[in-house]
Each structure stands twice: as structure tokens, then as C-alpha cells.
Chain A
């Protein structure tokens, strides 16, 4: 990409930097509080009870939470992967091609963003259970139904972000590549993909977040033993959100920071950036 490390001029630069700092402070203020109270020896978040590691120990001993966390992460990774592939293809087809039914497809892609989540939850529940009555397909609710439902709403978010990237982007580079006898796949792999990668990454990050946060839909399509972390936490609120949940969140945060650092190191080691 040509010259995007563009020089900002004088005042603009300061205003933009200040805004960025503000945005990060805003993003991390509750996170700081969350981390702090995961070390507090008091049932109540917000009342400091002295330093303790008890909540982390409790996490280590609580099979239910661990199981919920593991279900959440697996669902999130698989549904993100699937929705990124499907969503990106959908975005490419809509931005680059005119085909029969593209209007309907366009509309269909926005609906999962618009539908209220309770409504989607109820309809997925009825849908999965009535499959048995119509086509005799007995669906065991659980991991699979959760993942399928998450993909159903994530595709749309991915495709909207990727389309924002694609919109107005000219096809000349790909055409040039093909004129130079690159195969269609090569043209995609070495020209288009790098161009739209920031959009794909953005979409993937959104899909991951949505999956990790969904409560209502998951609750309705889950089965025995497939409770995800957000559903578990949602139930726990009735009896007070203990710092145990903070500890779990901190573990997740730490793990994701670690992953990011590792991938950066790996990228460096390979001696080049992807984009």
C-alpha cells in the first residue's frame, strides 16, 4: 500500500493523538477496575478487601467455569473461521459481481444484524426442535447448534466490514495480474487478498467478539453440558457477580494479549509483514 504512513501536520497531529489516548483510557478504565478487583479479598466487586489470589485458585478448582470457558473459546474460534470465509465470499460476490438474486441476497445479509437477539433466540429454538417433526432429523442441541447460530449472525457483520473495504476499490490490479497470466486463484491470493486483509481482520475481530459475548441466543440453543461462559455469568448475576468472574476475564485477557505478542514475534521472525 502506497504511502499510508503519511505525515500529519501540526495541530491535527496533536488533536488526533489526544483523541487516541482518550479512546484508550475509555476502553481500559473498566478493564483496570476488573483486573484490580480480581485480586480483592471480598465477595463484592467495588469493595476492596485486601490482596488475594483466591479467585484464581477458585477458578482453577471450578470445573463448571472451566468447561464453560472451553466451550466458549471453541465456539468462538470455529464460528469466526466459518463466518470469515462465508462473509468474505459474500462481500466479494456482492461488490464485484452482478448476479441473479443479488438484491435478495443483499437484503438477507442485513437481516441478522437487524433482528433483535431474543427474537432470533426464540426462532432458532423452534427451528432446531421442529426439524425433528418435519424431516425427522433429531438435532441434539449443544455445541453444534450454538456454533451454527453464531455463524448465522456473524456472516453479516464480517461481510459489512469487508464490503466497506472493497467499496470503490478498483479492479485494475487484479486485471493486470491476470493479464500477466496469473491464474484466478493466484490473482486472488497475491493481489486481492492482501488488499482486503484489513477488512477481513476487522470482520474476524468483530465476529470473535460477538460470539464471545452472546448470551440469549446461546441460552436457547444450548443443551446439557454446553453452557458457554457468558450464559454461566448471566445466571450467576442473580447471586452476585463474584470476583471469580473477574478472574476468569483476566485470564482470558491475559491469554489474548499473549497470543497477540506471540503472533507479532512470529511475524517478525518470518521477516516480513503479511499485508
Chain B
């Protein structure tokens, strides 16, 4: 990430590079403007509108009422609860995914590819069916409960507890952590690690000072891919947590699809997007600088 000083004879080259960069970005850029940014304006516009008597959205007479709803204490509770759950999920995913990706990266080519594909295969079944399978596994008198009973831990009823929600979220998002971690650990220059060990560093020292910093882009990308979707998750908390507490994702769904209050749904989404975008950009820049 070093922008070297540009000698004069390379100025033309630099300009050329800029053009190539834009050219390369253009297809995705245009696509996202057309099929994402334009539609997104609708969300922003709706967030300033009013729900009419029949749950339609009145666009005349813009106001900030929908945003005022964000100040209610219940929304703040929901937000903190969701943040905590998302952070917990991200940390647990990282704890299991990092050693897994590291292990993967040290296997031979063919084993590595095979292991990677077998990480993903379960996720080509069906999201809901997987969640319901967990419900059966964790349920009253289910396999997990019987297992703990047999090994003398007594019956465990995990279903419909916060533990079940975290477990479900970790299950759903673990691959999102593994893939970017693997992609960045796999390209690591292993001779640096050997050099570190040869110079007498312990395994832990090497990990802290060499391995981990080198894999940081993967850690950052992975934690974003896990943190953000778990912040908005609602199906897993409903199926495995029994919808007993409202989380951010289900709050937004409720506004759109139950209260039919689109302006509030849109305003919560807008604020969420602004805040998370700012946080993401800062996180990435910071990650970039420490490289």
C-alpha cells in the first residue's frame, strides 16, 4: 500500500494507469449505479415520507417523523442487543475460522481444494431446511440433549435460548469468515515465518508479529462479512431463538411486512447503512495502514 514518489517520466504512465483503473471498474460501477444506487434513492425518499391510513406510503409533505422513531428507548435496546450478538458471533467465528483457514492453507493443493469445497457443500442445501434441522437437533429430547445426558451432563434445552441463536448465526456465517481468511493466509510468504523461527522467535511471537499481521486483510474482510449480516439477521433468531426478543433485522422486517410502515423501515435502514458504511470504511483504512 505504498504510493511511491512518481518520477517525471512516469507521469504519462501514471495517467495511463488511472484510465485503465477506471476502465476496469466501469462495468461493475455502472451496474451498481443502475441496479443498486438508483433503487437506493427510493429507500432514502421513502424514509422522509409518511405512512398513510392504509399502510401505503404518502410521498407528498416530507418530514422527519420516521427518524424520530429511532429515538425511542425500545429501538436503542434493540440496537444494543443486536450489536452485542453480532460482535459475539464475529468473535466466535474468528476463533474457529482462523485456525481452520491456517490448517487449510498448509495442506497440499488437492486436499486444500477438496476441503474448501466441502466447507461450502452444506450451504448448497437450503437455508431454511438447515435452520429447521438445527431446531430438531437442539430441541426437547433431541440428539444434542440426549448426547449430554449420556455423558452425564444432564438434559440440555438449548432451543429457544440466546445460545441457540448464536450457534445458528455462527453456523450460518462461519464460511463467510473462512473464505477470505483462507484467501489471504494462503498467499502468505511462508519464508518470513521460517525466518522468524530461525531467528529464535517462539511460535506465539511469530504468530503475533508475523503471521497475524500478514493475514490481517483476511481478518478484516471476514469480520465484516460476518458482522454485518449477523447484525441484520432475522430468520435464524426467529427459528432458533423463538423470536423472543426483537433484534434489528426483525424490527426492520416488522416495519415493512407487519406494521406496513415503510417510512420507518426505510429510515432505520438508511441510518444503519450510513453508520455501517462509515464504520466499514474506517475499519478498512485502519487495517490498510497497519499492513
Question: Do A and B touch directly, given a CB cutoff of 8 Å in the complex?
Answer: yes
Chain A residues with a Cβ under 8 A of chain B: 1-6, 8-9, 12, 15-17, 19-20, 22-24, 26-31, 33-34, 37, 45-46, 85-87, 89-90, 92-94, 96-102, 105-120, 122-124, 126-127, 130, 148-149, 151-152, 155, 157, 159-165, 167-169, 195, 198-199, 201-203, 205-206, 208-209, 212-213, 215, 229-230, 233-234, 237, 241, 245-246, 248-250, 252-253, 256-257, 260, 264, 273, 275
Q: Which residues of B contact A117 (CB under 8 A)?
A: 232
Q: Which residues of B contact A119 (CB under 8 A)?
A: 43, 252, 256, 265-266, 269
Knowing that A115-B273, A119-B265, A256-B124 touch, tell me 15 more A-B residue pairs with CB under 8 angstroms.
Answer: A6-B194, A23-B174, A27-B122, A27-B174, A89-B25, A97-B20, A113-B225, A116-B253, A122-B43, A161-B225, A203-B179, A229-B126, A237-B128, A245-B129, A249-B126
Contact partner of B120 among A106, A205, A264, CB < 8 A? A205
Q: How far is the CB of B188 from chain A (nearest CB, A)?
A: 8
Q: Which residues of B contact A118 (CB under 8 A)?
A: 252-253, 256-257, 265
In the bound complex, CA of A134 to CA of B106 (Å): 56
In the complex, B64 has a CB within 8 A of chain A: no
Most buried by A among B103, B124, B272: B124
Given A98-B18, A161-B179, A246-B129, are A252 and B114 neighbors across the interface (CB < 8 Å)?
no
Q: How far is the CB of A147 from chain B (nearest CB, A)?
A: 11
In the complex, B153 has a CB within 8 A of chain A: no
Q: Which residues of A contact B122 (CB under 8 A)?
A: 27-28, 30-31, 253
Given A119-B43, A253-B125, are A159 and B130 neighbors across the interface (CB < 8 Å)?
no
Q: Are B125 and A114 interface neighbours, CB within 8 A? A: no
**Interface residues of B: mostly helix, strand, loop or mixed?**
helix
Q: Which residues of B contact A229 (CB under 8 A)?
A: 126
Q: Which residues of A contact B191 (CB under 8 A)?
A: 2-3
Q: Which residues of B contact A105 (CB under 8 A)?
A: 25, 29
In the bound complex, CA of A164 to CA of B19 (Å): 23
Q: Which residues of A contact B117 (CB under 8 A)?
A: 205, 260
In the complex, B241 has a CB within 8 A of chain A: no
Q: Which residues of A contact B194 (CB under 8 A)?
A: 6
Q: Are A111 and B273 interface neighbours, CB within 8 A? A: yes
Q: Which residues of A contact B29 (CB under 8 A)?
A: 90, 101, 105, 108
Can you list 8 pairs linking A and B with CB atoms under 8 Å apart?
Answer: A6-B106, A20-B104, A23-B119, A86-B28, A92-B24, A127-B42, A230-B126, A264-B114
In the bound complex, CA of A174 to CA of B251 (Å): 49
In the bound complex, CA of A148 to CA of B88 (Å): 34
Given A127-B38, A206-B175, are A93 and B109 neighbors across the interface (CB < 8 Å)?
no
Q: Which chain B residue lies CB-closest to A163?
A: B221
